[in-house]
Structures are given as structure tokens and as C-alpha cells.
């Protein structure tokens, strides 16, 4: 079994977040361009989509035939966790993280 260190886990999470963010930014911009909706309307729709994705994932982890990965959804706790993450990200100012930036060239 692979031993995952705290640093490895943090790096994996940072990389996953950067990938999700880049993908979502691209898609949100495309939706705004195609629909003409303002940014806040598209962001609200994205937040709702995250909620429905949570529900689908939670349902797949409960009841008969549930995923055996070990996650057990707790709706109220998970909603608090997601809300806290959203609020923290909304309040944070952008900063450039060299660990997740794409290389533009070579020196």
C-alpha cells in the first residue's frame, strides 16, 4: 500500500484544485459568452450545479450498493463544509502560486 505523506496529500489537493478551477473558469466564460448572462448569474448556476453534484455523489455513497471508498455523507455537516470553503474562497485575494502555474518557456 502506498504511504501518502501530508506534503504529498497537500500537493495532490493543490493540483486538483488548480485543475478544477481552470476547467470551471473556461466553462463559465464560455457560458457567459454564449448566454449573455452576467457573471453573478452564471456563478449562482455553478453553485447550484455543485449542490446537485454533491447530492448525486452522496446518494451513490448511501444505501444498497453504496460505494465502498469509506466516505459517508453527512448532509448538514457537508453543507457547512462546502459553504465555509466557498466563503473563504470568496474572501481570499488572488495570489500567484508558482507550484501550480504552467511553465511559459525556458530560460
Using the predicted structure, report yes or no on whether residue 12 has a pLDDT greater than 60.
Answer: yes
Q: Could you read off the pLDDT of 48-103 as tens digits, one per residue?
A: 999 999 999 999 999 999 999 999 999 999 999 999 999 999 998 876 666 666 66
Compute the half-sphere exposure of residue 61: CA atoms within 13 Å on the CB side of its CA.
13
More confident residue, 99 or 15: 15
Rounded to 5°, angle at Cα 35 from 32 and 38: 50
* pTM recorded for the entire structure: 0.78
Amino acid at each position: 500500500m502506498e504511504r501518502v505523506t501530508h506534503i504529498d496529500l497537500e500537493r495532490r489537493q493543490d493540483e486538483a484544485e488548480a485543475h478544477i478551477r481552470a476547467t470551471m473558469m473556461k466553462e463559465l466564460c464560455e457560458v457567459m459568452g454564449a448566454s449573455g448572462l452576467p457573471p453573478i448569474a452564471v456563478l449562482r448556476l455553478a453553485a447550484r450545479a455543485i449542490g446537485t453534484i454533491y447530492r448525486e455523489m452522496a446518494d451513490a455513497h448511501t444505501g444498497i450498493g453504496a460505494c465502498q471508498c469509506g466516505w459517508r455523507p453527512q448532509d448538514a455537516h457537508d453543507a457547512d463544509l462546502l459553504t465555509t470553503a466557498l466563503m473563504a474562497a470568496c474572501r481570499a485575494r488572488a495570489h500567484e502560486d508558482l507550484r501550480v502555474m504552467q511553465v511559459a518557456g525556458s530560460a
